[in-house]
Amino acid sequence: MPSRPNRQLAYPTRLCYSGPVMSRFLTSRLEGSSPRYQAQHIARWVGLLILIAALALYLWTLDDGLQPEELRGGDLITHQYAQVEARPSNAPGYPLYTMGGWLWFRLGRLLLGPYSNPIRILSSYSTLWALLALWLLYRLLLDVTEGNWALSGLCTAFYAVTYFFWYYATTTEQYTSAVAQTLLMIWLAFRWDAAQSRGEEGDRYLLALAFLTGIGLAHMVTVLFIVPPILWFVLARRSDLLRRPRLIMKAIGLLALPLLSYAYVYIRGAQHPEWRGVGEWESTWQWFWSFLSTRQGRDELTWSLSPLWTDEFPALIWRELTWPALLIGLWGISRLGRHRAALIYSSLAIYLVFCFIDRLGNWYQVIMPAYPLIVMGLAVAADALWRWGLLRRAWPTRAAILLFLCALVGYRFMLSLPGADSSGRPGDVGLDPGWRIIADDPPADATILGTLDERLALDYLTRIWGVRSDLRTISADQARGLLEGGHTFLSTVDAVPIVRSEVAPEARFSSAGVTLVEVRLTPRREPPALDILLQRPVGDGLTLLGISRRQPRVHPALPDRFHPAPRLTLYWQATKPISHDWAISLRPTRGSQFIFAGGQLVQTDRRHPVQGAYPTTRWVPGETVRDDYALPVIPGPPADGLAVIVYRPLPEGGFQNLAEVHIPGNPY
């Protein structure tokens, strides 16, 4: 019997016959099993897991509501309106960032549906930039630690849970994009440096840096703090670059290219003069150049030598990074090498000078790109100790380093979570006034006067959320113009004092829901549509014409807590001048008895009709008044009747009942 072929000899024989294709295959298999290839493979998976974990964390804590003060002004609400309506943001407009946000918002609504929470979609745009920043930081740390994925991953995780980065990764601000851009510029500078060490030109990295500088001019100009140190970093190694005019011209062209995006700011400002803000300008050009100069931003800088320190500056720096990470990181930067260390140290020095100048302002937002540079030093220092332990086979040293970094991540996570968690905050009630108006189901194309908070909330819901976009808020001056033109409008109950003091003291009111009232100059005399006709005179010239039941339509986007209760509408008429201001009490009955819950009488009480807005002594003979009520919840079996009590409190105490009208049947 012939012997079995020797596989060790046969395999090379087949390789010889298969030619270069098989050779490359074998080479790739051998490389794939090498320790270096395995380390790179693990590093990629670690980076991916960090991004997935960060994404899960940021989505869990993503901003989903607004506080009243956020609606009244500030960068957050400015960015949201800019990205939804494609309008310039606060000066100098952030054209590239805003246009990207506009596309992101449209894509989000398309994929998630028209009634998805736009606040979460807008906030997730910051999350996108945060993930890019974390990936760039991880790649940078891998470079400076020569592939130490364990230390790079933990240091990246530490930065991911620092308070300011985490907070701005979950809210509608542009600061995470500034971090990403800064890290990308550092990464390109280091790649160029590595190319020089290999004897390569690396011009593509320099041109990319020039383009990113132009993006900084068309985005967040404080990113450009890193440009002078990078310019020194490049010229200190290759001063001959100044003698290459073709390269310089290419760089200038790429730098200028992003500035073309400012045409968007000019065009949108010309199309919508109402977006220009406070000020008087003779032309669009005059406004445009004033806007680009960011006068407001310059005016907000605190050019003062007193006080030297504040409660925030510079204490927030070490509270944010922790003392150990800050000190170790600053020391670790020195181990990057002379030129790289000088680049990072000089960048930090520029940030520190600016922060001192603006220490009474928003310095803590601008310094965010400086923190990952210190984290880079932390990773380099940890790697140096790691290699020292590796050479001496001192595994406790490596274990201590890992334990320290894990503890640092856990400590920073627990410290940051309460403040950085922007999801479901108890104070996120800024949109509640708008939801209450929408819950009233106003008629189509209604014009509504409200208080400032009501107008801001309704504007946000109609223009950004897209809920009842047919509704329009008006000012007191516009409301006055409508009345003078013979038209009516709706007012919220809380805005009725504004109507009386600024619009028309003689205005007439009629209910349009439990939150809205109709305002007109002439009394309403048209006969109402009634479910139950009563025509019951109750005394003092007041007649209860009848009642109607109404259940407002529920908009699909309306939160559950605002779903309206069953409504009952009373219709009154004055048959002669009414001598007293009468109050109204609605009380469901069961077996002709009032209903009690927890020892309390179940009732809906109003000091005056029309949600307390229209005293009966102001009614004129023949006037018909609609009066809406939300029926109270009753325990147990359903009601089988309703009592309408007309009464008034007496000056000497007690009450006088004018009438008690019992209406049979379940009112709900």
Q: Please report, for the chain, the start and end positions of each structural domain, with discontinuous segments joined by +.
A: 34-276+283-417, 431-457+464-522, 523-668
Cα–Cα distance, 386 to 147 (Å, whole number): 12
Strand, coil or helix: what is 183? helix
Nearest to 125 by CA among 175, 200, 56, 51: 175
Enter the DSSP assignment of 348. H
Tell me how long the chain is: 668
- pLDDT confidence of residue 521: 95
> What's the half-sphere exposure (Cβ side, CA atoms, 13 Å) at 539?
13
Strand, coil or helix: what is 147? coil
* pLDDT mean by block of 10 residues, the chain; 668 residues: 34 36 42 68 94 98 96 91 92 90 96 93 97 98 95 98 97 94 97 93 95 92 94 94 95 96 93 85 89 68 73 90 95 95 97 87 87 97 87 78 96 96 95 96 96 97 95 97 95 97 95 96 90 93 93 90 91 96 94 89 93 95 95 87 94 90 88
- Which CB contacts under 8 angstroms, 24+ apart, belong to 145-150? 145/379, 145/380, 145/382, 145/383, 146/383, 147/36, 147/39, 147/40, 147/43, 148/379, 148/383, 148/386, 149/39, 149/42, 149/43, 149/46, 149/47, 150/46, 150/402
Nearest to 254 by CA among 228, 219, 202, 215: 215
- Which CB contacts under 8 angstroms, 24+ apart, belong to 234-241? 234/189, 234/192, 234/206, 236/339, 237/193, 237/196, 237/339, 238/196, 241/206
- 449, β-bridge pairs: 474, 491
Instruction: Note the pLDDT tens digit of each residue in 535-586.
Output: 999 999 999 999 998 888 899 999 999 998 889 999 999 999 999 999 999 9
Place of tokens 């003392």: 323
Strand, coil or helix: what is 316? helix
- pLDDT confidence of residue 22: 41
Cα–Cα distance, 149 to 38 (Å, whole number): 11
- pLDDT confidence of residue 301: 61
Nearest to 640 by CA among 602, 608, 594: 594
- pLDDT confidence of residue 3: 37
For 634, residues 6+ apart whose C-beta sits below 8 A from its C-beta are 588, 590, 595, 597, 602
Question: At residue 233, what is the residue type?
Answer: F
Cα–Cα distance, 347 to 325 (Å, whole number): 18
CB count, 10 Å around CB of 188? 20
Order of strands across the sheet that contains 516-520: 472-474, 447-449, 489-492, 516-520, 508-511
Instruction: Note the pLDDT tens digit of each residue in 394-433.
Output: 678 889 999 999 999 999 999 999 999 999 999 999 999 9
CB count, 10 Å around CB of 17? 7
Predicted TM-score (pTM) of this structure: 0.88
- pLDDT confidence of residue 612: 93
Top-level CATH class of 523-668? mainly beta
